Structure 1
Amino acid sequence: MKKQLILEDGTIFVGEGFGSDTETIGEVVFNTGMTGYQEILSDPSYCGQLVTLTYPLVGNYGINRDDFESIHPAVKGFIVKEAAEFPSNWRSEFTLNEYFEMKKIPGIAGIDTRKLTRIIRQYGTLKGAICSIEADAQEVMKKLRSTKLPIDQVRQVSTKNAYPSPGRGKRVVLVDFGMKHGILRELNERGCDVVVVPYYTTAEEILNLSPDGIMLSNGPGDPKDVPEAVDMLRGVLGKVPLFGICLGHQLFALACGADTVKMKFGHRGSNHPVRDLETGKVAITSQNHGYTVEMESVKNTRLAVTHIAVNDESIEGLKHLDFPAFTVQYHPEASPGPEDANGLFDQFLALIESQKQEVTSHA
């Protein structure tokens, strides 16, 4: 079935529809990863977005039961050059089309994704609509211009109730702003006794769980739309060691007095080089964010920049100068992507252990 992708600037792409035949509107972004489309479509950080994949062939190894980053995908639509109809992989259970039909997600294939990516890079992210070929383009553009992008994405994807993921190691409270399962997996593999809590959990409620450490997850949208999390962070800073990823990193910065701004088109992919300012080493990282911590705003805080992006010199890591707390903008759990930065989870547990020893020595 023919479909069209209409952008708010008036650009129209015509292609073949797959998945659900419903109309959808969202923010059009692009991801440069060569693999990992299953993890991308199930990453809660894409809530409300139409994701363009720059790699030309998508779906060639199918959809399997093991590689999901969430149970229910929050992505609004998929835009690809070619959607493979006959995947070849021993783990494959569904084609891309079958899975998108099941989850009622619309997709469009057969369009010039290189041209679309160049438009986004030139003008920044745009609102777009995937709709039927019969839809009136002028009416769709009118609807696009009047549609406001949601500001409650974290509420949509965060867990509604706290739940445990038991282990015999250190107690970590994981605040779920739209958590990728890869983060929970890495903590579980290290034996952590994890308690996952909703994004609106207060500092008092978290401290009452007697955590050895607090983990802040990734998530979608503007960090300034989650003021309750900023209040919580101000209440726990200095009391418990803390490690934040992606949106958690941005919320930590806001809580410490820095500012965040929206990027022109963000970082989304699995090949982003990041330099550790202490060692000078460069890691290839997986990233997915549309906002960043403003460099100038860090100067008047008790924060230090620990990592920067090689490509645009934006902030990729922070640490607190007085408290046991550090964060990164990228994804050390990868999924998909390289595992260069996986050791940050070990660094977090080492920080917890050093704080315990310090408390013991002062007792």
Structure 2
Amino acid sequence: MSDAYIALADGRVLEARARAPGRTRGELVFTTAYTGYEESLTDPSYAEQVLTFSYPLIGNYGVRTERFESESVQPRAAIARELTDDVADWLAEEGVPAVDHVDTREIVTTVREEGAMACGIAAGPDATPEDAVEEMEACKPMSDHVDIGAQVSVTEPTVHESADGDVDVALLDCGAKGSIISSLTERGADVHVLPYDATPEDVAAVDPDVLFVSNGPGDPENFVAAQEVVDEFAGDLPLAGICLGQQVITSALGGSTEKMAFGHRGVNQPVKDLRTDKVVMTTQNHGYTVADTGPLEVTQVNVNDDTVEGLDSEELDVITRQYHPEANPGPHDSLGFFDEVLDLATSSRRVAAD
């Protein structure tokens, strides 16, 4: 007898097995990653979403905190074909509902055909289908989470120092993965992490060599403060961004974004560089994309659907990526992006000095 239920916006209620009890709701999405479940479950970009794993077995190499991208589990719930006890116990300790023994192929196919949708979860000995439906009906669209940044950002400025400290980076934390920060510090940058709603004055106080806008969850149009900061410094300070950061920078510079049907989430997305004709495999997690690039040049595109994966402007000293170059757990084809960011900052300082 089932003790968990998944209610979908298309009217279906799927039966499952409860692995971590609770009731919740969120936007139903899926990831194609077959490793990196710890990184996915701690990625702040999954806030307010219910994460389905398309790979059938999740948890086969345990749970290690050194792989976490943040301090806690970020999705509202997790769905898998089979969860090991290690992962199920971890999610239960975090208070995040989790279910398995469900046909995840059916869920993935539904999302691919109908798009990301509202979802309700009810799991535990007293759960009923009606509970799951009630949760689903109370689920808000992602664009209605107008202050989602407050859930995932630091509340006070923090500094992550490198061994060398050659470059100062002001990072707007819209939900930054920890490996983005470490990728910069490992290359000699001191990273000043600022709240998602930091002001231009907050950034100026850092006196940075480059302004970096991080990844994060939700609709980029709701990150108004970050757009205002970008607008203030565009042309005067090198700009870089990853994922939501690319979208925020584009919107601030006069471009626009749009919601995708089901987004890109996984570790196997091919991206083509238009300047070199080379294709790299990338890690991705986003439900929005750039529609109008404004003054920025498209340098990279997704091989599968031609969506914008990289933007550049020599005039404005801008470089952005839609995917995740830090690439935890992999592949690591695109790690060179962080070298490009620091080269951009150094070159800009050198030009200013001349």
Where on the TM-score scale, by shorter chain, does this alignment land: which range? over 0.9
Percent sequence identity is: 38
Residue in 2 that maps onto 1:2: 3
Amino acid at match of 1:252: I
Question: What's the CA shift for 1:27?
Answer: 0.7
Residue in 2 that maps onto 1:88: none
Aligned residues: 347
Matched, 1:236 2:233: yes
CA distance in 2, matches of 1:302, 1:321: 11
SS at match of 1:333: coil
Matched, 1:156 2:121: no
The two structures, once aligned, show a CA RMSD in angstroms of 1.4
The alpha-carbon distance between structure 1 residues 15 and 147, as it changes in their structure 2 partners (threshold 3 A), is closer
CA distance in 1, matches of 2:38, 2:4: 23
CA distance in 2, matches of 1:217, 1:147: 26
Residue in 1 that maps onto 2:101: 110
SS at match of 1:66: helix
Question: What's the CA shift for 1:225?
Answer: 0.9
Question: What's the CA shift for 1:84?
Answer: 2.0
Equivalent positions of 1:59-70 (< 5 A) are 59-70=59-70
* Structure 1 spans left out of the alignment, 5+ residues: 86-94
Amino acid at match of 1:236: F
CA distance in 2, matches of 1:138, 1:108: 17
* CA offsets 1:110-143 (integer angstroms, 9 cap, x no match): 1000011000001001111111475453564355
* CA offsets 1:318-362 (integer angstroms, 9 cap, x no match): 11252111101000001122110100100111111111211121x
SS at match of 1:273: strand
Moved over 6 A (4+): none
Amino acid at match of 2:191: V
**Contact 2:4–2:127 (8 Å) recurs in 1:** no
The alpha-carbon distance between structure 1 residues 82 and 139, as it changes in their structure 2 partners (threshold 3 A), is closer
Question: What's the CA shift for 1:228?
Answer: 1.2
Of the candidates 121, 125, 132, which is equivalent to residue 116 of structure 2?
A: 125
Amino acid at match of 1:158: S
**Contact 1:302–1:321 (8 Å) recurs in 2:** no
**Contact 1:120–1:126 (8 Å) recurs in 2:** yes
CA distance in 1, matches of 2:130, 2:80: 24
Matched, 1:141 2:136: no
The alpha-carbon distance between structure 1 residues 145 and 274, as it changes in their structure 2 partners (threshold 3 A), is same
Amino acid at match of 1:7: L
CA distance in 2, matches of 1:302, 1:205: 26
Residue in 2 that maps onto 1:100: 91
Amino acid at match of 2:70: S
**Contact 1:7–1:129 (8 Å) recurs in 2:** yes
CA distance in 2, matches of 1:148, 1:214: 32
Of the candidates 160, 177, 180, which is equivalent to residue 180 of structure 1?
A: 177
Q: Normalized against structure 2, the TM-score is what?
A: 0.95
CA distance in 2, matches of 1:204, 1:247: 22
CA distance in 1, matches of 2:17, 2:134: 23
Q: Normalized against structure 1, the TM-score is what?
A: 0.92
CA distance in 1, matches of 2:54, 2:242: 25
Question: What's the CA shift for 1:255?
Answer: 0.6
Amino acid at match of 2:60: N
**Contact 1:302–1:322 (8 Å) recurs in 2:** no
**Contact 2:265–2:283 (8 Å) recurs in 1:** yes
Question: What's the CA shift for 1:191?
Answer: 1.8
